[in-house]
Amino acid sequence: GNSVTQMEGPVTLSEEAFLTINCTYTATGYPSLFWYVQYPGEGLQLLLKATKADDKGSNKGFEATYRKETTSFHLEKGSVQVSDSAVYFCASYSGGYQKVTFGIGTKLQVIP
Amino acid sequence: GAGVSQTPSNKVTEKGKYVELRCDPISGHTALYWYRQSLGQGPEFLIYFQGTGAADDSGLPNDRFFAVRPEGSVSTLKIQRTERGDSAVYLCASSQFAWGLNTEAFFGQGTRLTVV
């Protein structure tokens, strides 16, 4: 089956700092990759996705590139805001399993 | 409703008791998923329904856990003889079709279960 490994948090950054949250995956075949975000008091939401190698997913200033050679899908944002404070989950999906496998989540705290 | 609704939002129960957790998916969504999120962990798959039937229940940890979706909409996760290790946030998600490349799943806010 699939597995996803992401860096443990918490990550604390000052506003306007550059963000990277690392994520690597193992899978048979070529999975689709996702980043989900959970804001305080809310449910998980899809942030971005990439379905094949070299695809770049982007949303709300966040980006992640599907790197087959390094089996990675690192999340980046050039300038974080306080409102980005949340828990971020890397996840993978392979057709046939009909379910998504999540990483442990990385808590991001952005301070003014 | 507008989103996936889970009730109750919090449930405290004594060890050995029986609990039921309810999920109201988005209207018209055929697929429904239950996940469990333990403290400091990511969500772990429990069971997937397509319509009324459990298409994949491989994530249920043991026979104390059972889930139903009798009319293809609302689902109930049932836990018998609860143990302290069952304490977690139980998440429900629904999608219009099976969750995949082009179908997004929408999550509820979860039910926090605490077994004391």
**A4 close to B (CB below 8 A):** yes
Residue A4 banded pLDDT, cuts 50, 70, 90: very high
Rounded CA gap, A93 and A55, in Å? 15
Closest CA to A32 of A62, A5, A2, A61: A2
Contact B96, B31 (CB under 8 A): yes
Would you state the structure tokens that stand for residue A103, as one six-digit string?
């990483």
**B88 close to A (CB below 8 A):** no
In this prediction, residue A41 carries a pLDDT of: 85
Q: What are the tens digits of pLDDT across the range B67-114?
A: 999 999 999 999 999 999 999 999 999 998 877 666 788 999 999 999
Q: How many CB pairs under 8 A join A and B?
A: 56
In this prediction, residue A98 carries a pLDDT of: 66
Neighbours of B63 (CB within 10 A): 7
For residue A108, give every residue at least 6 positions away whose Cβ sits within 8 Å of its Cβ, in sequence order, or none. A9, A10, A11, A12, A13, A19, A21, A80, A84, A85, A86, A87, A88
More confident residue, B21 or A100: B21
Nearest chain B residue to A30, by CA: B101
Q: What are the tens digits of pLDDT across the range A40-58?
A: 888 899 999 998 899 999 9
Q: Find the mean pLDDT for residues A67-82.
A: 96
DSSP code for A41: T
- Is pLDDT of A96 > 70? no
Helix and strand totals (H; E) in chain B: 0, 11
In this prediction, residue B99 carries a pLDDT of: 74
**B103 close to A (CB below 8 A):** no
